[in-house]
Each structure stands twice: as C-alpha cells, then as structure tokens.
Amino acid sequence: MKRAIFPGSFDPITLGHYDIIKRGITLFDEVIVAIGVNSAKKYMFTLEQRKKFIEDSFEDEPKVKVVTYEGLTVDFCLKHNVDFILRGLRNPADFEFEKAIAHTNRDLAPIETIFLLTAASTSYISSSIVREVIRHNGDYTLLVPDTVRV
C-alpha cells in the first residue's frame, strides 16, 4: 500500500491544501493529513476545529485520514509505515524551503518527498492570507473549502 503524509498546521485548510490532497489521492492508496502540534505557535483555530474542517471536507473520501501528531514528521512516518511525504509548492521560495526540509528528512530516514505544484487558481492562497482576511472581516469563503466557517 502506498501511503503518504501531508503534514501542516492547516490553520485553516485552504483551497490550495484541498487541491493537493485531492490530487494526492490519485497517486496514493492513502493520504494521511497530519496536523502538526507546535506548542510555541499561536493558532487562530483550535486543533479540534482544524481537524474537523479537514474531516468534513473529505467525509466522502475513504482514502483520506486525518490525524494529529507531535515531533518530527519522519518519526511519524517510521512509526506508521509511511514512505512518502506529500508537499505542495506555490512558488520558488516554497521550493527552496521545502527542498532543505526534504534533504534533511532523507538524511534522517528513508522517506521520499513528493512535490506537487499548486493549481494556478490557488497558488496565491496561504493560511496566513486567509487568517488576515478573517481578522479584517473580509470574505474568506473564496479561499477555503465550504467546511471552514468562522
């Protein structure tokens, strides 16, 4: 079984994340959307809210599993027999950042990172932008799946 983890904070899940997950399930038997827990980070949405947003977005997709985890992503992969890390790339800066992480992960464990380019229609969307729109009472609904409601 080909399994991939799609790690992130998903604060909140965006249409860009949604697109990568939908395309990932065409490549893998299972995509584990793994919400990383970082106690030093200040989130807009609780862990439970973020998990529910994703679960509700993929309630009819049995190939998507949503979990939370702490620690290194490669440790999660080793513990759960996951051979691939799925990542989305929006721009060259994402590539440089993700490339360094992928090399480090490969040094730590025999895990391959698979990069998918985001769709042109969602390449400008980030969770940071969505949070800023929400903070200023803008129409964030154009940037996130229908399951994300403030």
Residue 87 designated active-site:
no
- Which of 50, 57, 87, 127 is catalytic? The answer is 127
- CA nearest neighbour of 98 among 131, 77, 61, 73: 73
Question: Is residue 57 flagged as an active site residue?
Answer: no
- Choosing from 39, 41, 42, 136, the catalytic residue is 41
Active site residue 17: yes
Task: Measure the CA–CA gap between 123 and 144, rounded to whole angstroms.
Answer: 13
- Compute CA distances 19 → 12, 87, 88, 144, whole Å: 14, 11, 9, 11
Of 17, 50, 51, 87, which one is the catalytic site residue?
17
Residue 39 known to be catalytic: no
Catalytic residue among 22, 63, 90, 106: 90
Catalytic residue IDs: 17, 41, 90, 127
